[in-house]
Amino acid sequence: MTDTTTKALRVTNLKAENYKRLVAVDISPSGNVVTIAGRNAQGKSSVLDALWAALAGGEASRATQQPIREGQDSAVVRLDLGDIIVTRRWTKDDAGTLTVESADGAKYSSPQKLLDEMLGRRAFDPLAFVRQSPKDQVATLVSTVDLPFDPEELERKRKGVYDQRTEVGRDVAKLEAQLASYPDHDPNLPDEEESASALLAEADAAREQNASIDRAVSEANRQASAVEWAEDALREAQASLDAARSQYADAQKALKAMPTRVDVSGFTERLDGLEASNRRIRAQKDRTMVAGFLSAAKQKRAEHTIQLERIEKQKAEALAAVEFPVPGLSFDDAGVTLNGIPLSQSSSAEQLRVSVALAMAANPKLRVLRIMDGSLLDSESMQIIAELAAEHDYQVWVEVVDESGKVGVTIEDGQVAR
Ligand SMILES: Nc1ncnc2c1ncn2[C@@H]1O[C@H](COP(=O)(O)OP(=O)(O)OP(=O)(O)O)[C@@H](O)[C@H]1O
Ligand SMILES: [Mg+2]
C-alpha cells in the first residue's frame, strides 16, 4: 500500500455527479488558489460542499439534508489526492458511504479516521476564528502555538499575589488609623511605668509614725489626769502622789523624745500624678509597637508589588519569545491582539490573514482550505490569501460571484462552463 504518512496532500482532481446543484463536474485544479466562480445559484457552493462532504462526512452530512440532485437516485464525489482516492456515494435514504483507496486500488479499513487525521481543524471554515469570542480566540491561538507557560496558571499566580497585597494594604490602613489615635511621641517620658508600692510604703511608715505620736499624746494626757487624780488623793496617799509625779515626769520625757509630726495630705496628690504619668507611658509604648507593625506591613506590600511586576515581566518576556503564525500577533487578558491592538478592532483583511494563517499553522497532511464568502474579499485580501497559500504549500478553494466568465473555474447550470 502507498505510504500516506509523510508527503503533504492536496486535491489533484475533483469529480462530482448529482451532488446538490451539480450535474457533473470534473476539475483538475492548478496553483495554490482554486477560484470557483460564476453567477448566483449555478452550483459554486455545491462544488465546495462536495469537497467538504467527501472529506469531513459527519458534520457535513448532518448539514445537508438532500445531497442528491432532485430527480436523481444517487450522487457521487470522487477526490484524487495524489496518493489516495476518496469516494463518497449517496443513494436514496442513506447518509453516504465512504471509500478511501490507494492509487493501486487497495482499500483502507477506517477511511473516515484516516481522513480526520489528515485534515486541519478549521479547514472548511477558517473564518470561524473571526466569529469566536475574544476568550475562545485566545484558546484557539494558545492551542495552535507552542507556549512556554500556562496562561491560566500564570494568571492564577498573579491574582493570588494581588489578593494578598490587597489584604496587607487593608492592614496598613487600619494600623495607620490606630497610630493616629495616640498622642504624639514625648521624648521626656521614661520608658517604664514607676512603681507605686515604694510611695505607698513611705506613706504607711509616715502614718505609723504619726499614730505612735498620737498614742504618746494620749498617754501623756492620761497621765496628766492621773496626776490630777493623785493630787486630789494627796491627802490620803502622799506616797502615791510621789509615784504619780515620777510617772508623770517619765511620760513628759518620752513625749520630748518623739520626732516632729508629718503632713500626710500630699501623698494622695503625688499618687494621682504618678498614675497619670504612667497612663501616658503605657500609651507611648503601645504607639511604638503599632508603628513597628505599620512599617512591617508597608514593607510586605512593597514586596508584593515587586512580585507582581516580576510576574508581568516574566509573561511579557515569554510572549516576546513565542513564534506566532502572523508577525505582531499576541494575546493579553482580554483577547487576541495584532500589533498591540485587539483583533476585533483590526481590519477585515487583517482578521482574515490571521484566521487563515492560524488554520494553516496546524500544518496538517491534507493541505486543503475552503473559503465560502470569497466575494466579500477585495483584491488585497485575495492577494494575502494567495501569498499565505504559497508560503504554507496550501490549496485554498474560494467561491466568488462572477459574471465575466474570466475568473477561475466557472460553474454554470451545475457544470463547468466551456
Ligand atoms: N438537492 C438539490 N437538487 C436540486 N437543486 C438543488 C439541490 N440543492 C440545492 N439546489 C439548488 O441549488 C441552488 C444553490 O446552489 P449553490 O448554493 O451551489 O449555488 P451558488 O452558485 O453557490 O449560488 P450563490 O452565488 O448564491 O452562492 C439553489 O437554487 C437550490 O435550489
Ligand atoms: Mg454559494
CA of 375 to the centre of ligand 1 (A): 17
Lookup result for grid cell 513628759:
252
Which residue's C-alpha comes closest to atom 16 of ligand 1? Answer: 43
**Residues 112, 136 share a domain:** no
Joined together, the cell numbers standing for residue 130 give 473571526
Atom of ligand 1 nearest to the CA of 40: 25
Please state, in angstroms and rounded to a whole number, the distance separating the CA atoms of residues 304 and 40.
63
**Residues 55, 29 share a domain:** yes
What range defines the domain where residue 37 resides? Answer: 13-120+364-416
Q: Is residue 184 part of a domain?
A: no
CA of 22 to the centre of ligand 1 (A): 8
Instruction: Say which ligand is closest to the CA of 372.
Output: 2
**Residues 140, 47 share a domain:** no
Q: Is residue 77 part of a domain?
A: yes
Q: Is residue 387 part of a domain?
A: yes
Secondary-structure percent of the chain, ordered helix, strand, coil, rounded to 5: 50, 15, 35
Closest CA to 342 of 352, 329, 360: 329
**Residues 330, 378 share a domain:** no
**Residues 329, 376 share a domain:** no
- Output the ligand 1 site: residues, CB below 6 A: 20-21, 38, 40-46, 66, 68-70, 401
Answer yes or no: are the C-beta atoms of 357 and 326 closer than 8 Å. Answer: yes
Q: How many domains does the chain have?
A: 2
Q: Is residue 256 part of a domain?
A: no
**Residues 115, 24 share a domain:** yes
**Residues 101, 25 share a domain:** yes
* CATH, residue 407: 3.40.50.300
Q: Is residue 80 part of a domain?
A: yes
**Residues 403, 334 share a domain:** no
The model scores a pTM over 0.85 = no
Q: Is residue 318 part of a domain?
A: no
**Residues 18, 67 share a domain:** yes
Query: What is the residue-level pLDDT of the chain in tens, covering all 418 positions?
Result: 444 455 789 999 999 999 999 999 999 999 999 999 999 999 999 999 999 999 998 888 888 989 999 999 999 999 999 889 999 999 987 888 999 999 888 999 999 999 999 988 788 888 889 889 998 998 888 888 888 888 888 889 999 999 999 999 999 999 999 999 999 889 998 888 888 888 899 999 999 999 999 999 999 999 988 888 877 877 787 777 788 888 999 999 999 998 888 888 888 899 999 999 999 999 999 999 999 999 999 999 999 999 999 998 988 888 888 888 888 999 888 899 999 999 999 988 888 889 999 999 878 899 999 998 888 888 888 998 999 999 999 999 999 999 998 989 999 999 999 7
Instruction: Say which ligand is closest to the CA of 41.
Output: 1
**Residues 132, 43 share a domain:** no
Atom of ligand 1 nearest to the CA of 67: 1
Mutate to test the pocket of ligand 1, among 18, 21, 375 (most ligand atoms within 8 A of CB): 21
**Residues 137, 91 share a domain:** no
Q: Is residue 153 part of a domain?
A: no
Mutate to test the pocket of ligand 1, among 46, 51, 52, 65 (most ligand atoms within 8 A of CB): 46
Longest dimension (CA), the chain: 178
∠ Cα 111 117 122 (to 5°): 115
Q: Is 42 exposed, middle or buried (0-12, 13-18, 19+ CB in 10 A)?
A: buried
Q: Treating both helix axes as pointing N-terminal to C-terminal, what angle do 379-391 and 348-361 enclose, rounded to 10 degrees?
A: 20
Which residue's C-alpha comes closest to atom 24 of ligand 1? Answer: 40
CA of 45 to the centre of ligand 2 (A): 4
**Residues 133, 34 share a domain:** no
Which residue's C-alpha comes closest to atom 29 of ligand 1? Answer: 41
Instruction: Say which ligand is closest to the CA of 37.
Output: 1
Atom of ligand 1 nearest to the CA of 72: 3
Instruction: Say which ligand is closest to the CA of 411.
Output: 1
Helix (H, G, I), strand (E, B) or coil at 147: coil
Q: Is residue 138 part of a domain?
A: yes
CA of 42 to the centre of ligand 1 (A): 6
